[in-house]
């Protein structure tokens, strides 16, 4: 699925569009050009308390995405660079991080999404190799894995690279029914060519696994966790509200990508969003809800720590990270 060149890892055009709905290849920095570990590199984990819940964020790595005029449909590369500088981030590339959330609820250890599996950017794939060990989390202790959607950076950590063997065979795998139906039950030939590659891999794995449970919108996943439809990024993209006493946490998934770009500019349409208008509607409604109800949030691409609050700022919003 991935072509290697001397300077870049390039996902083939078919795979790139299948993965994220793009019309051109995605370039990943090669190991020779990727950042190595440094004192400024994010920690491998961060731990928080939300009410009585213990929450651990696990760092799966980063994609140092080269700038591309097609990345944001309605903003220029210069607009993107300016927004990154205003957030005190590098503008040399778009720093897209991957952060997995694990919570302990009674006897259950629940993980939201599963990371890249080391199958995408060479600077990602740290979940199993480093971060779980650093946090003292045994992968075999994960009882439930809850998926927000089926993009590769969220599901490839469920399956081995060459064999598709299940990585967490003993954990219950909870998936949004609408998302499952689109990727796992739709005829491959009826899908846009752009998405057929990913659908083939989903259909080669998920239907064969015996530990998959589908859930509907606004359904209790387990006691204290409820699904929230946030469609648009993908057809069945789903977020989750976790309640502990009077405290609430919302696991956003990809309601928005990098906060410096898409929280500050909720009207920007990322190329990754399958239905950009619906994605924007979900984004604004979700942000308004968490502001009004004072809900703590965590986002998959929100960095380390990727947990905090959203504040309204005119027609825009601001992400305020918590301190571990």
Contacts of residue 109, Cβ cutoff 8 Å, sequence gap at least 6? 102, 103, 137, 141, 142, 143, 144
The answer, yes or no, to whether residue 31 has pLDDT greater than 80, is no
Per-residue pLDDT, 41: 80
Domain count, the chain: 1
Question: What's the CA gap between 162 and 160, in Å, rounded?
Answer: 6
Residue 15 lies in a domain: no
pLDDT digits (tens, 9 = 90+) for 250-309: 999 999 999 999 999 999 999 999 999 999 999 999 999 999 999 999 999 999 989 999
C-alpha separations of 76 from 24, 66, 95, 302 in Å: 17, 14, 17, 21
Q: Has residue 23 been placed in a domain?
A: no
Each residue of 195-246: pLDDT tens digit? 999 999 999 999 999 999 999 999 999 999 999 999 999 999 999 999 999 9
Domain that holds residue 206: 44-321
Domain assignment of residue 34, yes or no: no
CATH number of the domain residue 276 falls in: 3.60.15.10
In a domain, 241, yes or no: yes
Cα distance between the two ends of the chain: 38
Left if phi > 0, otherwise alpha if psi is -120 to 50, otherwise beta: which for 164? left
Residue 31 lies in a domain: no
Reply yes or no on whether the pLDDT at 30 is more than 90.
no
Report yes or no on 183 lying in a domain: yes
Q: Is residue 33 part of a domain?
A: no
Is the residue at 160 inside a domain? yes
């Amino acid at each position: 699925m991935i072509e290697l060149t001397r300077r870049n890892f390039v996902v083939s055009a078919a795979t790139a569009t299948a993965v994220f709905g793009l019309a051109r290849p995605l370039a990943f920095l090669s190991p020779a050009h990727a950042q190595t570990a440094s004192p400024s590199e994010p920690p491998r984990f961060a731990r928080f308390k939300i009410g009585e819940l213990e929450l651990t964020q696990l760092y799966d790595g980063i994609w140092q995405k080269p700038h591309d005029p097609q990345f944001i449909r309605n903003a220029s590369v210069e607009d993107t660079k300016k927004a990154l500088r205003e957030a005190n981030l590098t503008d040399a590339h778009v720093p897209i991080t991957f952060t997995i959330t694990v919570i302990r609820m009674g006897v259950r250890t629940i993980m939201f999404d599963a990371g890249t599996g080391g199958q995408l950017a060479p600077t990602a794939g740290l979940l199993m190799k480093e971060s779980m060990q650093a946090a003292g989390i045994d992968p075999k202790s994960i009882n439930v894995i809850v998926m927000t959607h089926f993009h590769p950076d969220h599901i490839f950590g469920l399956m081995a690279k060459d064999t598709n063997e299940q990585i967490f065979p003993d954990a219950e795998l909870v998936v949004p029914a609408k998302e499952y139906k689109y990727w796992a039950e739709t005829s491959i030939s009826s899908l846009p060519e752009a998405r057929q590659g990913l659908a083939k891999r989903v259909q080669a794995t998920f239907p064969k696994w015996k530990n998959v449970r589908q859930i509907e919108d606004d359904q209790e996943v387990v006691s204290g966790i409820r699904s929230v439809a946030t469609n648009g990024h993908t057809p069945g993209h789903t977020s989750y509200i976790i309640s502990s006493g009077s405290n609430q946490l919302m696991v956003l998934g990809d309601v928005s990508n990098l906060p410096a770009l898409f929280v500050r500019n909720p009207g920007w349409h990322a190329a990754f969003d399958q239905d950009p208008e619906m994605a924007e509607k979900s984004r604004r409604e979700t942000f308004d809800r968490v502001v009004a109800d004072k809900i703590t949030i965590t986002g998959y691409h929100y960095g380390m720590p990727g947990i905090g609050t959203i504040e309204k700022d005119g027609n825009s919003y601001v992400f305020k990270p918590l301190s571990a």
